[in-house]
A = this chain, B = another copy of it.
Amino acid sequence: MSEHTRQILVRGRLRITDFRLRLLEVFVASSHSALTQKEIEARIGAHDRITLYRTLKSFEAAQLIHQVVDGSLENKYAFCLHDCPEHRAQEEHAHFLCNQCKTTYCLGSISDLAITVPSNYSLDKVQLALTGTCSACN
């Protein structure tokens, strides 16, 4: 059953360990939304806090997950789908935080928006943090 996550680790050139497989399962299982550390901990079962911290860093470096800016001040991560735009030439990336259920949804590309910065500024990355009420809560 973990052949899928196994392959993801191989592609990311990360050693295959039990903990990494478990963490990856968690992300794959909620690939539509971003997770806080607390939410990850609730899902992953027994674990070491520091190992989780470092594994998140590794996953991020290997571009398996990405940090999510959703307007809350919490550090959230989401699984990078293979068409995730976050790591494709720094394309625009939108996320939606629901005020009710606190879920953060990944809305994907927003490259159709016209963003301009003041003259002499150069733009590398665009992060759009939307807040409101999601479909499930409406």
Contacts and interface: CB of A to CB of B under 8 A. Distances in A.
A132 B127 contact: no
Nearest to A99: B124
A131 interface: yes
Interface residues of A, number: 32
A126 B115 contact: no
Given A113-B113, A124-B133, A127-B129, 14 more contacts: A96-B117, A96-B121, A99-B124, A107-B118, A115-B130, A117-B130, A117-B132, A122-B132, A123-B131, A126-B128, A126-B130, A126-B131, A128-B128, A128-B129
6 A-B pairs with least C-beta separation: A120-B135, A125-B131, A127-B129, A124-B132, A123-B132, A122-B133
